Structure 1
């Protein structure tokens, strides 16, 4: 659903850019709490979340290269907002998607540069917020189990994709550069993106379920699994007593193994599996072509980039060119993302000085 240049007029693109910048600013502030850097004590689990946030961005970049068929002549790919929100938190999730979209727009000519604000708003903010709110609501009413958490992730991801389609249609209704009946655009966008949402939900649920099975302490959305049970005593709910857990071994506390496995998986997906992705246009491209939205689309400013269209210039072998571009993309995204999140986490709020009180004797 990467919106290219020319779909949305300049004034609305500028407004969307301001909205996206504001969302990123809010995300930076909220991510400090999620990553454990908002205060000297941080948030429980935040010190383990920080190293994984850059990995989540790189993994989403890799999976977005894997277009899957959803209908005759149409494909879809992961948007990633739900996955990021559940794994590392909604604020950090917005930043993850923003980093991915920035890398794709600058290096790979995927998504217009003037439409970057639109893309961050639609693919980053809308999907992350909708998925987070729905996921949080479901986990509050469903049983507190790993299976229920995975099911909630599936539903949240499924709904987040058509929600993004509705958001794009609303933006197009205000600033579209072609005269196309909005009702037809909305019907076509929601229809195809409901199908894409099923794929998004499956990928999100599988990924979240796999991480929960191995290290539930690393999943932001699974922290409720460790919440103490409640007992009713004399008509009041109190925390059930729990035995003190034994100290976890260093290997269990470390994120190095998870980080290494996740990075290896991202490299394999982007470098090898992406060659077998569907070549059909994605949902937005198909709707744009069918409805005439793309009549005023402009060539990307980075169309001459050595990595444009996810290939390496001067390498004629398609498999090697695409695979190498994917590996470069994963590497750059994980480096940039990790740098951003480490910087966010390192900015701690100074402790308030203790006030000295005096008393008379």
Structure 2
């Protein structure tokens, strides 16, 4: 659902740019409360994983494909504020390096794909978790529903922005029907990917899933007929740190394999927005991308003629760049928290 330059006029693009900048500023502050010594190193990995899975377009209807938006996945794994930052980093890398999503439309894309999906998904997720039984399967089920609903909500948000600032004269009702219809189908794929990923992490390290915090009761010991909390053992903490590094390594390898190899087999059909834009004429005033002549534009390396190799190398570069930039951002946020005057617990919820 990457919106190119020219779909939305300058005033609305500017307003969404201000909204996106404000949301990022709020998220940088909120992420200081979400990130700790376990999750901070994983936040950059989550951004890289979202980048890699977004390269895997899956067919949803005749001549139409979809891809992960990632807001629900990021919010549940690392928290809603950090989730907004994760998806924003991905969108920035895609726009600058791969000419995917207009640069003047960056505010539109961040508002739609980072803010709307994350806020909607996490609100739905928290609501479901409160009423479902406190077990791991409930987290996975809530993840599925939250991701499913987040995608058509993003389609609704785009339609609203188009109604306010669309550059073509297409009836809003037609845009709404087409966008929501195809993105409900894409939402099913989003939900499946999100639930499978969250379920896989919970099965290995539930303590690393932000949305599952508090799911596991602390270990109790019976002393003198009374139950007391078992003390945390130092060796266990050391094992936890090593396990976190192991999860990080496995996650990075998975992202590299998906972007560098599996992406070659992704659907070549246009995604939901591209298909609707072409069929309804929304793209009549689309403008060339500002970095359309970059060496990686279109997710390929310009000087490599072999399509499989070109796309694979571009995917590897994208994952590497995203994990470096994302990790740098989250390391800085975590360091800012640690250096706050009142210490790392100054902003505890």
Question: Shared topology, TM-score over 0.5?
Answer: yes
Aligned residue in 1 for 2:307: 318
Q: Aligned residue for 1:356?
A: none
Give the Cα separation in 1 of the matches to 2:237 and 2:164: 56
- Report the counterpart of residue 330 of structure 1 in structure 2: 319
Contact 1:144 1:224 (C-alpha < 8 Å) held by counterparts: no
Which of the numbers 80, 88, 93 marks the counterpart of 1:98?
A: 88
Query: Structure 2 regions of 5+ residues with no counterpart?
Result: 220-225, 344-349
Q: For 1:46-66, what per-residue CA distance to the aligned partner results, in whole angstroms no more than 9, with x for missing partners?
A: 210100000000000000000
What residue number does 1:359 align with? none
Q: Which runs of 5+ in 1 are unaligned?
A: 36-45, 230-239, 353-361
Supply the distance in 1 between the matched residues of 2:41 and 2:32 (Cα, whole angstroms): 13
Q: Distance in 1 between matches of 2:80 and 2:58?
A: 26
TM-score by length of 1: 0.90
Structure 1 position 113, deviation (Å): 0.2
Q: Deviations over 1:55-86 (max 9, x none)?
A: 00000000000000000000000000000000
Aligned to 1:119: 109
TM superposition shift of 1:224 = 2.7
1:271 aligns with 2:268: no
Q: Give distance in 1, aligned partners of 2:241 and 2:248.
A: 12
Alignment partner, residue 294 of structure 1 = 283
Distance 1:301 1:249 in 2: 48
**Whole-angstrom distance in 1 between the partners of 2:240 and 2:327:** 22
Distance, in Å, in 2 between the alignment partners of 1:241 and 1:117 is 53
Q: Residue deviations 1:185-217, cap 9 Å, x none?
A: 001000000000000000000000000000000
For the pair shown, the structure with the greater C-alpha radius of gyration is 1
**How far apart, in 2, do the equivalents of 1:221 and 1:302 lie?**
37
Question: 1 CA distance for matches of 2:189 and 2:240?
Answer: 32
* d(CA) in 1 for partners of 2:261, 2:92: 23
- Deviation digits for residues 169-189 of structure 1, max 9, x if unmatched? 000000000011101100100
Give SS of 1:69's match.
strand
Task: Give per-residue Cα distances to partners, 1:131-188, cap 9 Å, x unaligned.
Answer: 0000001001000000011000000000000000000000000000001110110010
Residue 110 (structure 1) shift = 0.1
- After TM superposition, give the deviation of residue 351 of structure 1 in Å: 2.0
Cα distance in 2 for partners of 1:83, 1:227 equals 24
Find the counterpart in structure 1 of residue 26 from structure 2.
26
Partners of 2:165 and 2:72 in 1: CA distance: 27
CA distance in 2, matches of 1:253, 1:66: 31
